Chains A and B, each alone.
Chain A
Amino acid sequence: GIQVEQSPPDLILQEGANSTLRCNFSDSVNNLQWFHQNPWGQLINLFYIPSGTKQNGRLSATTVATERYSLLYISSSQTTDSGVYFCAVEDNAGNMLTFGGGTRLMVKP
């Protein structure tokens, strides 16, 4: 099956700093989503982005499908950004999402 790798696995930021999270995948994809899992375990949709660039407030994402990676940018980080960020992809063979291992982000005040 498709492999999904996220980096870095852990990240500590000072409030106000910017960061870039990376997602590499091993095969072509139909779908790519970024999620934020909050401390209560809820997976919150950030972006549905199989290709191209999208922005939503302080967050933006870019997927370069031909090179099999996606980037999530967080600008002016806030303590509420803390949690785990997951990248998940759906390959051409199946209809389920395969998740990466996540990036655990802590933003300190």
Chain B
Amino acid sequence: GAGVSQTPSNKVTEKGKYVELRCDPISGHTALYWYRQSLGQGPEFLIYFQGTGAADDSGLPNDRFFAVRPEGSVSTLKIQRTERGDSAVYLCASSLTPTTEAFFGQGTRLTVV
């Protein structure tokens, strides 16, 4: 596609539920990143994929968070047993290769009630 696409745009879920957030990167981009942005702050790194493998997952806050990219294109961020503190905007980015210019999607606003 023309840009990074994220779905859904907004997600409201109840505390304790499971959610999946989807990212469709720019075609041909091998690197894919997930970030989380809380109100009034800059985005914070969660996980980075090079191809199908998670090259760096050091930003995932705990084991309730997991992400996959099975075919090296679309990625899904999965959050189990959601908590109110998980409420934030989740941003996805892709780049042609690592260290080249990264482009961001419009984000998914997750609200846990």
Task: Please list the residues of chain A having a beta carbon within 8 angstroms of any beta carbon in chain B.
Answer: 30-31, 33, 35, 40-43, 45, 48, 86, 88, 90, 94-102
Complex CA–CA separation, A94 to B91 (angstroms): 19
Decide if A96 touches B99 in the complex (CB within 8 Å): no
B contact patch SS: strand
Q: How many A-B residue pairs have CB under 8 A?
A: 56
Task: Check A97 against B106 for contact (C-beta < 8 Å).
Answer: no
**Which of B48, B59, B102 lies in contact with A33, CB distance below 8 A?**
B102
Interface residue? B107 (CB, 8 A)? yes
Partner of A45, one of B41, B55, B101, B107: B101
Are A94 and B56 interface neighbours, CB within 8 A?
A: yes
Q: Is the CB of A100 within 8 A of B42?
A: yes
Which residues on B are within 8 Å of A, measured CB to CB? 31, 33, 35, 41-45, 48, 50, 55-56, 59, 89, 91, 93, 98-104, 106-107, 109
Closest to A102 in B: B42
Chain A neighbourhood of B101, CB < 8 A = 31, 33, 45, 48
Contact of B41 with A90 in the complex, beta carbons under 8 Å: no
Main secondary structure of the interface of A (DSSP, over half): strand
> Could you say which residues of chain B place their CB within 8 Å of the CB of A90?
99
Most buried by B among A35, A45, A95: A95
Contact partners of A96 in chain B: CB under 8 A:
33, 45, 48, 56, 59
Closest B residue to A30 by beta carbon equals B99
- Chain A residues with Cβ under 8 A from B43's Cβ? 43, 86, 88, 97, 99
Instruction: Flag if B106 contacts A95 (CB, 8 Å).
Output: no
Q: Measured between alpha carbons, how far is A88 from B48 in the docked complex, in Å?
A: 16
**A96 nearest CB neighbor, chain B only:** B45
